[in-house]
Amino acid sequence: MKNNAVEVWENCLKIIKDNIHYQSYKTWFAPIKPLKLENDVLTIQVPSQFFYEWLEEHYINLLKKTIKKELGSEGRLEYSIIMDNSIDQANPYSIKVPTSNKKAIANPSVQMPIDINRGTSKDIPNPFVIPGLKKIKVNSQLVDSYSFDSFIEGDCNRLARSAGFAVAENPGRTSFNPLLVYSDVGLGKTHLAHAIGVQAKNNFPDKTVLYVTTEQFIAQYIDSVRNNNQNDFVHFYQMIDILIVDDIQFLSGKEKTQDVFFHIFNHLHQNSKQLILTSDKPPVELKGMEPRLLSRFKWGLAADLQQPDLETRIAILQKRLYNDGIEMPQEVVEYIAYNVNTNVRELEGALISILAQASLNRKSITLDLAKKMIDKFVKSTTREISIDYIQKIVSDYFNLSLDAINSKTRKREIVQARQLAMYFAKKHTKASLATIGLHCGNKDHATVLHACRTVNNLVETDKQFRIFVEEIDKKIKM
C-alpha cells in the first residue's frame, strides 16, 4: 500500500503527462503540490480558486481515472485551495474541497478518449457483435462540446464546414462521400469531424455513429487477428451508418490493415453509409497507401482547413472566453490574435497561459502581462510579422481605425498612414507588392511601389516624419 503523497502524485503525473500536451501539463499540473495521503484520499494544493475551477471543468475525468489507477477503486482526490484574503490585507488562507461528480468538458489539449492503459482496443469496449444482428449499440465516442456551434467559421474553413454540415443533414446521400478533411496540426480537423457526428446523431438518433482514431482501428484489428475473430471485426464496422476515422494517414505502410479497411469502405459506400476521414495531407500526397484505397479517398470531396485569418482568430478567442465566462480586455484579445497566427491549438494555449499567469500571481489581465507571456510563448519559434499586425500598429499609432486605413478616402493623414503600412509591409514581410496592395485597401502593385518611394523621400527630407517611421519600426519589432 502506498503511503507517500509525493510518490503517488509523481506516478499520477507520469500518466497525466502522457495524456495531455506539454504546454497544458506545464500550465495546469506542474504548479500543484501534493500535501498528504490519508485513507486513500490524496490532498493536493492548487494556487487559486480559478485554478481549481479550471481543473474541475477540463480535467476531472483524467484526474479521477488516474487516482483510481494509483489508489484503487476507493481512491479519491481532495483540493486544498489557496484563497486570497483581501480583508485587512491578511495573509492568504486555504480551504479544502473534494472533487465533484461532474464530467469534464472537452479540452483540445486532452487526447480523447483518455485511455490510461494506452493503445489497446479497450478504447471501444468489446466492439464485435454476432453476425446477423440487425441493430447494435455503440458508444459513439463523440465529444458533444465539439459542435458546429463552437466551430468558428471563416474564409479559412468555410468549404470544409459547409460540406460537413451538408453531410450531417443528409448522411450518405450527398456527393461528399467520403468527405476527407485535411490540414496541418491544430487547425480543427478533429473538432469538425466530431461536429459532423454530433449533428448527424442529433438529426438521426436511430443511426449508428462511430468516431475512431486510426490508431484505435489498427489496434482493434491486431487484436482480432490475435483472437482469430477478424470476421466479427469486419462485420462490426460494416454495420456502422456513419463512420468517422481520424488521422487516416497512419494507415500508411500497413498493408493488411489497409486491405481490411478497403473492404469495410466498399461495403459502407455501396450501402449509402457515410464515411468521414481526416488527414494531415491531401489524398495526392498520402504515401504508402494502396492505389485502390487511395482512389476511393478521391471519390467524394477533399476539403482543406487553412490557417485562420485575423478576424477568425479574434472570434475564436472571444468564443472561448464567452464559453468559460471570462472577461478580458479587447486590446489583449487582439494582441494575442495578432501575434499567435500558427494554429488554433497554440492560440488557445497562449490564452490559457495568460489566464493561468494572472490567476497564479493574482494580477489583472493587462496588455503588459499579455506581451510578457506572448514573448515567452512564441520565443521558441521564429516570429513572423504579418501585414495585419503592421496595419494594427500603424493604425494605433495614428489613432485611426483599420477600416479608415483601408478605405478609398484621400485625406492626407489617412493616405500617409496607408503608405506607411505598405512601406513596412514591404520591409518586414516576404509578401509581393500585389499581395501587400490587396491587404491595404485593394490597391495595385504600382500604388505600393509609389508609397514606398514616397516614404523613403519623406524620411530623407522631413525630420518629424522620420521620427514617426523610427517609432513605428520599433513597435513593430517589439
Domain ranges (residues) in the chain: 5-98, 121-304, 310-377, 387-477
Cell of 85: 484574503
Sheet containing 209-213: order of strands: 209-213, 242-246, 274-279, 179-182, 301-304
Q: Render pLDDT for 325-347 as a digit per residue (tens, 0 to 9).
A: 777 888 888 888 877 777 787 78
Q: What is the pLDDT of residue 104?
A: 45
Q: What rounded mean pLDDT belongs to the chain? A: 80
- Give percent of the chain above pLDDT 90: 15
Instruction: Place 197 in a pLDDT band, splitting at 50, 70 and 90.
Output: very high
Do residues 369 and 405 lie in contact, with contact meaning Cβ atoms separated by under 8 Å? no
Question: What pLDDT is recorded for position 384?
Answer: 62
Architecture of domain 387-477: Orthogonal Bundle (1.10)
Task: Find where cell 447494435 sits.
Answer: 136
Higher-confidence residue: 356 or 236? 236
For residue range 36-59, what is the model confidence (pLDDT) as tens digits? 888 888 898 887 777 787 788 778
- Round the CA-based radius of gyration of the chain to a whole number and report it: 27
Cβ count within 10 A of residue 193: 23
Residue 146 to residues 140, 142, 149, 192, Cα–Cα distance (Å): 13, 8, 8, 7
- CATH number assigned to the domain with residue range 121-304, chosen from the 4 options 3.40.50.150, 1.10.10.10, 3.40.50.300, 3.40.710.10: 3.40.50.300
pLDDT at 119: 39
Across 13-22, 173-182, 268-277, least confident range:
13-22
Which class in CATH covers the domain with range 5-98? alpha beta
Give the number of other Cβ atoms within 10 Å of residue 204's Cβ: 16
**Does the N-terminal peptide bond of residue 113 adopt cis geometry, omega within 30 degrees of 0?**
yes
How far is 159 from 297, CA to CA, in rounded Å? 18
Residue 99: pLDDT over 50: yes
Most confidently predicted of 202-216, 301-315, 345-359:
202-216
pLDDT value of residue 65: 87
The CA angle 185-280-430, to the nearest 5 degrees, is 65
- Of 73-77, 227-231, 367-371, highest mean pLDDT: 73-77
> What pLDDT digit, counting tens, does each position of 6-21 carry?
999 999 998 888 888 7
- In the prediction, which pLDDT does 200 show? 93
Q: What is the pTM of this model?
A: 0.55
Alpha-carbon distances, residue 335 vs 377, 382, 396 (angstroms): 13, 17, 12
In this predicted structure, what is the pLDDT of residue 87?
Answer: 38
Q: What's the length of the chain?
A: 478
Name the CA dihedral angle for 264, 270, 274, 279, rounded to a multiple of 10 degrees: 50
Residue 416 pLDDT exceeds 60: yes
* 124, pLDDT greater than 60: no
* pLDDT tens readout for residues 250-269: 888 888 899 999 999 999 99
Report how far apart the first and last C-alpha atoms of the chain are (Å, whole number): 55
Q: What is the pLDDT, as a whole number, of residue 209?
A: 92
Residue 234: per-residue pLDDT: 87
Domain 310-377 belongs in CATH node 3.40.50.261:
no
Segment 342-370 shows an average pLDDT of 78
The string of pLDDT tens digits covering residues 69-81 is: 888 888 888 888 7
